[in-house]
C-alpha cells in the first residue's frame, strides 16, 4: 500500500450526491467529507434521508447524481461486498438458527477465508465486544444489548475501515442505550476506524460524536462539533431540533440586534449567521438554562421590558441532576427555565416571577429559513 493510500484509508467523501424516489428527493446535493478515524453522526428527523445516505455508501442504493469516494477511491459500480465498509442496523438481523460464533464467522466463510484465520478473527471480534463467553449460545438466548454486540462483532470481523451504524441503539431501553453509547465510543477510539453513526436522538449524537451533520429534508443544514451545534445553531430548525428552546416571534430592529413583540423586547449581542432585515419577521431563541428566575417585585414596571418577562410559576419538575420550571405568561405559551439541582431557586408554585436573560444568550433567526 502506498503512503498516500494509507493516509486516506477510512476517509469518506460525498460530492453533490442526490437520490430521488419518484418525485421526492430523499437526499439532495449532499456534500460531506469524513476524516479517517472520525466519529461522525448524521442527525435528523425521521424521513430526512439518513438511511438512504448510508445505503448509498454501502452500495445497496445507487446515487442519481454525484460521486462517493471511500478511502480516496470512487466506489461507483462497486457492489456492497467489494466496499471497505460494513453496516450495523437497528434490527440486529442475526441468523436465528446459528450460534453467536457462526453468525460472526458467516461472512468470512462466504469469502473462503482459511479456517484457522476465521477462528482467530472471530475470537478477536467477540473479544472486542466482550462476548467471548457467549460464543456457543443461540441469538434467542441473548438480551437485546447482547444481540447488538454480536451484530457489531459480525461487522468488525471484516476489518472494515469504515463502519456505518444505522440507529444501532434505537431498540434498546434508555439505561442500556447509555451504556452502549459509552462502549461504542471507547471501541471506536481503540480501533481508530471511521464511524458514520445515524441517529434521530440529539443527545446521543452530541454525546458521542467528533462532528455532527444535522439533516433536514435530504440536506445537511449544519455540520459542526457538538459544542458549536448546541451553542451556535445556524438556523431556527437546528436551534429547535437540538435541546430545548424558548422561541419568541417578533419583528427585527437594528439588523436583528433588537426583536420586539407585544409582550417582551429582546436584545441580542450575538453575531447572526444570516443577514436580518429591519422590520422582517424573526424568531428569537433563548435556552432554558440561560433563563433566571426571581420573585417579581410588586413595584416592577408593567408593560414591555427588555430581556425580561413576568409570569406565574406553574410547575417544578425534578429531573435528577436538573430542575425544570415552567412559567405561565399571559398571552403566550409557557416559558421553560432550567437550573442545575444545586442552584435551583426556592420559589413556590403560584408565585409571580420575573424571567430574565442576557443578550449574550439571545439568538435571532429569519422566520422563513427554507430558502432554496
Which residue, 47 or 345, is less far from ligand ADP as judged by CB? 47
Local structure of 34: helix, strand or coil: strand
Chain positions 24 to 83 lying near Mg ion, rule: CB under 5 A, are 51
90 forms part of the interface with Mg ion (CB under 5 A): no
- Cell 441468523 sits at which residue? 95
Which residue, 165 or 291, is less far from Mg ion as judged by CB? 165
- Cell 471480534 sits at which residue? 125
14's enclosing H/E stretch is strand 12-21
Which residue, 89 or 365, is less far from Mg ion as judged by CB? 89
| β pairing state of 322-328 and 292-295 | unpaired
Q: Smallest distance from the beta carbon of 44 to ligand ADP, in angstroms?
A: 6
Local structure of 253: helix, strand or coil: strand
Sole window of 20-28, 65-73, 116-124, 201-209 interacting with ligand ADP (rule: CB under 6 A): 20-28
24 forms part of the interface with ligand ADP (CB under 6 A): yes
| β pairing state of 24-34 and 12-21 | antiparallel
Look at residue 52 and give the partner it binds from Mg ion, ligand ADP, none, a contact being a CB closer than 5 to 8 Å depending on partner kind. Answer: ligand ADP
Look at residue 327 and give the partner it binds from Mg ion, ligand ADP, none, a contact being a CB closer than 5 to 8 Å depending on partner kind. Answer: none
Which residue, 52 or 181, is less far from ligand ADP as judged by CB? 52
Q: Smallest distance from the beta carbon of 265 to Mg ion, in angstroms?
A: 42
28 forms part of the interface with ligand ADP (CB under 6 A): no
Sole window of 39-47, 242-250, 256-264, 336-344 interacting with ligand ADP (rule: CB under 6 A): 39-47
351 forms part of the interface with ligand ADP (CB under 6 A): no
Q: Smallest distance from the beta carbon of 166 to Mg ion, in angstroms?
A: 6
Which residue, 75 or 214, is less far from ligand ADP as judged by CB? 214
Contacts of 324 (CB under 8 A, 6+ apart): 288, 316, 317, 336, 337, 338
Binding residue (CB under 6 A) for ligand ADP from 5, 6, 7, 21: 21
Phi-psi region for residue 111, left (φ > 0), alpha (ψ -120 to 50) or beta?
alpha
Sole window of 44-52, 75-83, 88-96, 256-264 interacting with ligand ADP (rule: CB under 6 A): 44-52
Please give the size of the binding site for Mg ion, defined by CB under 5 A: 1
62 forms part of the interface with ligand ADP (CB under 6 A): no
Q: Phi then psi for 320, rounded to 5 degrees? A: 80, -100
Which residue, 129 or 163, is less far from ligand ADP as judged by CB? 163
46 forms part of the interface with ligand ADP (CB under 6 A): yes
**Helical spans, DSSP H, in the chain:** 3-8, 50-58, 100-110, 115-128, 144-156, 174-191, 202-208, 226-231, 236-241
Residue of minimal Cβ distance to Mg ion: 51
Please give the size of the binding site for ligand ADP, defined by CB under 6 A: 11
Question: Quick check: 52 and 164 in contact, CB under 8 A?
Answer: no
DSSP symbols for 267-316: E--SPPSS---TT-EEEEEE-GGG-EEEEPPTTPPPS-EESEEEEEEEEE
59 forms part of the interface with ligand ADP (CB under 6 A): no
Quote the CA–CA distance of 312 and 19 in Å, as a whole number: 50
Which residue, 43 or 309, is less far from ligand ADP as judged by CB? 43
**Torsion sign over Cα 184, 189, 190, 192:** positive
Site of interaction with ligand ADP (CB under 6 A): 21, 24, 26, 44, 46-52
Q: Please report, as ranges, the residues that interact with Mg ion according to CB under 5 A.
A: 51
Amino acid at each position: 500500500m502506498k503512503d498516500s493510500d494509507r493516509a486516506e484509508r477510512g476517509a469518506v467523501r460525498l460530492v453533490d450526491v442526490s437520490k430521488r424516489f419518484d418525485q421526492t428527493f430523499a437526499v439532495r446535493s449532499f456534500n460531506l467529507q469524513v476524516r479517517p478515524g472520525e466519529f461522525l453522526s448524521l442527525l435528523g428527523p425521521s424521513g430526512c434521508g439518513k438511511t438512504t445516505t448510508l445505503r448509498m455508501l454501502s452500495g445497496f442504493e445507487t446515487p442519481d447524481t454525484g460521486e462517493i469516494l471511500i478511502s480516496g477511491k470512487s466506489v461507483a459500480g462497486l457492489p456492497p461486498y467489494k466496499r471497505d465498509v460494513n453496516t450495523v442496523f437497528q434490527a440486529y438481523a442475526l441468523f436465528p438458527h446459528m450460534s453467536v460464533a457462526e453468525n460472526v464467522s458467516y461472512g468470512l466463510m462466504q469469502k473462503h477465508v482459511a479456517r484457522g484465520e476465521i477462528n482467530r478473527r472471530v475470537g478477536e471480534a467477540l473479544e472486542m465486544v466482550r462476548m467471548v463467553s457467549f460464543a456457543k449460545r443461540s441469538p434467542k438466548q441473548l438480551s437485546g444489548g447482547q444481540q447488538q454486540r454480536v451484530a457489531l462483532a459480525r461487522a468488525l470481523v471484516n476489518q472494515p475501515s469504515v463502519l456505518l451504524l444505522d440507529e444501532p441503539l434505537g431498540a434498546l431501553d434508555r439505561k442500556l442505550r447509555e451504556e452502549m453509547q459509552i462502549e461504542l465510543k471507547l471501541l471506536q477510539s481503540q480501533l481508530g476506524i471511521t464511524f458514520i453513526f445515524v441517529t434521530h436522538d440529539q443527545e446521543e449524537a452530541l454525546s458521542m460524536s467528533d462532528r455532527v451533520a444535522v439533516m433536514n429534508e435530504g440536506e445537511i443544514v449544519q455540520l459542526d462539533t457538538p459544542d458549536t451545534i448546541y451553542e451556535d445553531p445556524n438556523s431556527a430548525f437546528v436551534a429547535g431540533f437540538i435541546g430545548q428552546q424558548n422561541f419568541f416571534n417578533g419583528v427585527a430592529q437594528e439588523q436583528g440586534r433588537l426583536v420586539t413583540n407585544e409582550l417582551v423586547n429582546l436584545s441580542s449581542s450575538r453575531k447572526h449567521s444570516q443577514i436580518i432585515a429591519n422590520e422582517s419577521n424573526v424568531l428569537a431563541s433563548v435556552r432554558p438554562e440561560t433563563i433566571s428566575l426571581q420573585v417579581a417585585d410588586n413595584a416592577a414596571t408593567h408593560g414591555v421590558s427588555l430581556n425580561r418577562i413576568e409570569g406565574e410559576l406553574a410547575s417544578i419538575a425534578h429531573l435528577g441532576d436538573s430542575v425544570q420550571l415552567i412559567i405561565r405568561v399571559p398571552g403566550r405559551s409557557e416559558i421553560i427555565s432550567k437550573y442545575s439541582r444545586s442552584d435551583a431557586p426556592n420559589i413556590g408554585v403560584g408565585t409571580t416571577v420575573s424571567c430574565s436573560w442576557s443578550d449574550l444568550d439571545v439568538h435571532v433567526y429569519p422566520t422563513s429559513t427554507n430558502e432554496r
